[in-house]
Structure 1
Amino acid sequence: MADGNREIELSAEDLRAVAAFAACCAREVLAVFTAAHPDDPRPREAVEAAEAFARGGRRGKLLRDTAWAAQRAAREAGDPAVGHAARAAMVAASAAYLHPLADAGQVKHVLGAAAHAARAAELAAGDAPDVGVRHVERAGRYATPSVVDVLGRYPAAPPGGGRIGELLRHLDRTLRGRS
């Protein structure tokens, strides 16, 4: 198991699988953002950049720029649900930069888009925790064997992180139980 100091192997295909999963999760809640900010393309562009990378595109400036832009959109959102939808997009675009270090914090790059999307969904539903849990469980069905394999190279999700951390750990346990 990962020890926190050890490097792990990550291929370009591993990164593409994680980015595809993250983009799929973020895309599910893009409507939460666009309903509030119909003229702001930043989260959508971040998801599209992650999807393009997942299909074989380059890992470069476009991913970084759209991730930063989605993060700014999240800060400017004005509503927690809308902000989490934008953060899911930011994590999707940054998933291509998962670090090959056996560090539990890296699990946030693998599963963070799903956790932020679930939080956006539960807040949009009036802060209904059951909506978030169902959303995370559905996201778990999108995780390919490649994503589960990459996740298994890292230690379990770290403690803390409030509700996002709870959703992240729920998904982490669910996926690790599949392997």
Structure 2
Amino acid sequence: MSEDDRRFITLWAVTCAARALPLFEAEAPSDIRPREAVEAARAFALGGRRTVRLRTAAWGAYAAAREAADPAAAAAARAAGCAAGAPYLHPLATPHQLKHVLGPAVYQARAREFAEGDDPGVGDDEVRWALEQVPPQVRVVVGRMPAGRPGRTRLGALHRRLEAGLRG
């Protein structure tokens, strides 16, 4: 995986995570950790360097997710954490790395689903939206990776839909 690959993946991750960010901010308006994660990831995607700020921001967003009482807010914060972690994807093509590539879009879809009364139709619509946003380079990277191994949870179902759309 090249640095350019990571930048394209991160740009898509930022696009997805930013869509869910208002769900977190409505629940915890004074907690800026997920927004910092999205902004740090955006800076990398637009040509910045991988720095300790990215890792710190990712961990901060994950901590915000753990602290959130609202499941939509927690999933939105996880999307932000995943976006800030995208610049650190490993060059080894593994199902685990694929999970990291898809994480921001999957958590964004789940956040929007939770926000709409846990309606799976909303999540399916969000997966379609994420697929419309994906740069062609991300499809190439995903095509080089082995199939994912998502679980039987709703997150796993969203992962399968997203992966099938990227490979199809």
Smaller-chain TM-score bracket? over 0.9
Q: Given the two structures, how large is their TM-score scaled by the length of structure 2?
A: 0.98
Structure 1 counterpart of 2:138: 147
Matches for 1:2-17 after TM superposition, within 5 Å: 10-17=1-8
Aligned to 1:29, the other structure's residue is in SS state helix
Structure 1 counterpart of 2:117: 126
Structure-2 change in CA distance of 1:99 and 1:69 (3 Å) = same
| 1:170 equivalenced with 2:161 (yes/no) | yes
Structure 2 counterpart of 1:7: none
- Quote how far apart the aligned CAs of 1:58 are: 0.6
2:59 aligns with one of 31, 54, 68: 68
- Quote how far apart the aligned CAs of 1:108 are: 1.4
Structure 2 counterpart of 1:55: 46
Deviations 1:82-140 (A, max 9, x none): 10000000000000111111211111111110000000000000000000000011001
Aligned length in residues: 168
Tell me the percent identity: 54
CA distance in 2, matches of 1:102, 1:35: 37
Deviations 1:41-84 (A, max 9, x none): 00001001111000000112011000000000000001111100
CA distance in 2, matches of 1:166, 1:140: 15
Structure-2 change in CA distance of 1:75 and 1:142 (3 Å) = same
More off after superposition, 99-108 vs 52-61: 99-108
- Quote how far apart the aligned CAs of 1:161 are: 5.6
Structure 1 counterpart of 2:75: 84
1:150 is matched by which residue type in structure 2? Answer: V
Aligned to 2:139, the other structure's residue is in SS state helix
Gaps of 5+ in 1: 1-9
Gaps of 5+ in 2: none
Which stretches of structure 1, 4 residues or longer, exceed 4 Å deviation after superposition?
none
**Cα RMSD, aligned residues only:** 0.8
Which structure has the highest helix share of the two? Answer: 2
Q: Given the two structures, how large is their TM-score scaled by the length of structure 1?
A: 0.92
| 1:105 equivalenced with 2:96 (yes/no) | yes
